[in-house]
């Protein structure tokens, strides 16, 4: 959804000579991206809380006996926040103003304050939750390496998204929100997407379980075997040549 927002920004920027479109049209184009941005932020926080609860004694009872309520508790906060923001931007839209259509443009005052403060609070809570989670994990001294690697990957992914959000906010503060330029917009988008794009590499490098799944499903294992066998063949050929030269030089 975020990528759709950035493609929309670039497309509308290039297609019009003044790079601007009516603000209400920009709102309609960004309903889905803003929903995804709000929902994913709250979902990350709920996931962090879930990881802390997973270390408690009643977690298994909670996830087995009340599974529907627990899933609803995970999803509803993000949905509610996202719907509220979408409804507010639709109510607050205007056809009289022309803007460079970015993700921030539908968020007119006072909605932008609500959005920025909420995302900032969620990001800070994420850092606190995973700090607490790390302390609990260290005290429990878990012996299962697979479980540790999964938890490590979750922490890395969430923190990269947090720092991506803070980086995007910092870039946005350096630009004129009433007349934004395209370069800071693209830089902010790059930082926000960094947390998303790094997911695969974090899971693959930190979790042996996910690495095995990716190798089987995406065919990475076949590529690794192909290049490994090719490398072994090259090493064997070099060894044979070396042995042949050694035998030929020795009488």
**pLDDT tens profile 42-59:** 888 888 888 888 888 788
**pLDDT tens profile 150-168:** 667 667 777 777 777 777 7
**pLDDT tens profile 102-116:** 877 888 888 888 888
Structural tokens at position 40? 């994913």
Nearest residue to 115 via CA among 29, 35, 4, 6: 35
pLDDT of res. 35? 92
pLDDT of res. 92? 93
Residue 225: is its pLDDT beyond 90?
no
Nearest residue to 84 via CA among 44, 111, 55, 52: 111
Q: What are phi and psi of 99, to 5 degrees?
A: -140, 160
Check residue 207 and report its DSSP letter.
-
- Do residues 146 and 209 make contact, with C-beta atoms less than 8 angstroms apart? yes
Min mean pLDDT across 38-47, 73-82, 91-100, 205-214 is at 205-214
* Residues β-bridged to residue 99: 21
Where would I find the H helices in 175-219?
Answer: 182-206, 208-217
């Amino acid at each position: 959804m975020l990528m759709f927002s950035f493609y929309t920004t670039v497309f509308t920027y290039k297609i019009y000579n003044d790079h601007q479109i009516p603000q209400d049209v920009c709102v309609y184009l960004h309903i889905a991206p803003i929903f995804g941005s709000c929902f994913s932020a709250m979902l990350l926080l709920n996931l962090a809380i879930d990881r802390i609860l997973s270390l408690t004694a009643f977690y298994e009872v909670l996830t087995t006996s009340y599974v529907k309520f627990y899933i609803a508790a995970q999803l509803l906060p993000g949905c509610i926040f996202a719907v509220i923001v979408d409804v507010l931007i639709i109510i607050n839209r205007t056809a009289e103003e022309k803007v460079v259509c970015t993700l921030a443009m539908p968020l007119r005052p006072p909605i932008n304050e609500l959005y920025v403060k909420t995302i900032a609070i969620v990001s800070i809570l994420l850092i606190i939750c995973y700090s607490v989670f790390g302390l609990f994990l260290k005290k429990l001294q878990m012996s299962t390496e697979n479980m540790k690697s999964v938890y490590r990957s979750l922490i890395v992914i969430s923190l990269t998204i947090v720092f991506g959000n803070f980086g995007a906010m910092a870039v946005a503060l350096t630009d004129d929100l009433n007349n934004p330029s395209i370069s800071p917009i693209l830089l902010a988008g790059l930082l926000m997407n960094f947390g998303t794009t790094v997911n695969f590499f974090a899971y693959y490098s930190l979790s042996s379980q996910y690495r095995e799944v990716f190798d089987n499903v995406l065919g990475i294992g076949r590529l690794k075997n192909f290049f490994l066998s090719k490398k072994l063949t090259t090493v064997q050929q070099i060894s044979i040549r070396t042995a042949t030269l050694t035998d030929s030089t020795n009488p």
